[in-house]
Amino acid sequence: MMMKFLCCALAPLCLFLSTVSAEEKNESDEMKVLNRFLGTWDHAITITPPGGADAIYNTVSKREWSLGKTYLRFEEVNMAEPAHDEFQMLLTFDADKKRYTGVIMDGTNSSTVSAEWDEAKAAMSFTAKHGNGNELRYTLHFTDENSAKGEGAFYDPEGNVIVGIRWKQTRREKGIE
């Protein structure tokens, strides 16, 4: 009986201590950079295949902290085709490697992500390596607190451009830091 009481009494304390450490971890300057991404964003995306006509998509992206505030979670859906594969990304800062790292799930496809922040340019440059050898490389530049523009391309394993991508995004609603 005493052991049961002790476990019940210590459980809230353990939960409190783990929450404090997650909040403290989130206070680094590198993690604070990710607050710029929070909220609900509207995107106007242009996909340009080499020698082909542009395709334009409108998407909505919601970005929020994971429950432990360790990862920033990105969710995105194509508004014209809501049944289209959903996009998810988790991003955090790896203090040992001194860079942002994460994963992308796009339908059943997955990628590993690395990124670097340039404070002077208010820009983050991403590289996503897909399992099939293709890479997505792009830079997102914040033009002000509530808007940004991105540009990049998908590359095959030989370094040839598969498609170019560029977009503008506008924050519709600020997220919780």
Is residue 101 within 8 A of residue 77, CB to CB? The reply is no
Burial class (CB in 10 A: 0-12, 13-18, 19+), 146: middle
Q: In terms of CATH, what superfamily is 29-173?
A: Calycin beta-barrel core domain (2.40.128.20)
- Range in 15-19, 55-59, 79-83, 144-148 with the lowest mean pLDDT: 15-19
φ/ψ region of 51 (left if φ > 0, alpha if ψ in -120 to 50, else beta) reads left
Strands (E), 1-108: 39-48, 55-65, 72-78, 87-94, 99-106
- pLDDT for 87-138, tens place per residue? 899 999 999 999 999 999 988 889 999 999 999 999 999 999 999 999 999 9
- Range in 9-23, 99-113, 117-131, 146-160 with the lowest mean pLDDT: 9-23
Nearest to 81 by CA among 47, 53, 58, 109: 58
Helices (H), ranges, the chain: 2-25, 29-33
- pLDDT for 63-83, tens place per residue? 999 999 999 999 987 766 666
* Residue ranges of domains in the chain: 29-173
Structure pTM? 0.81
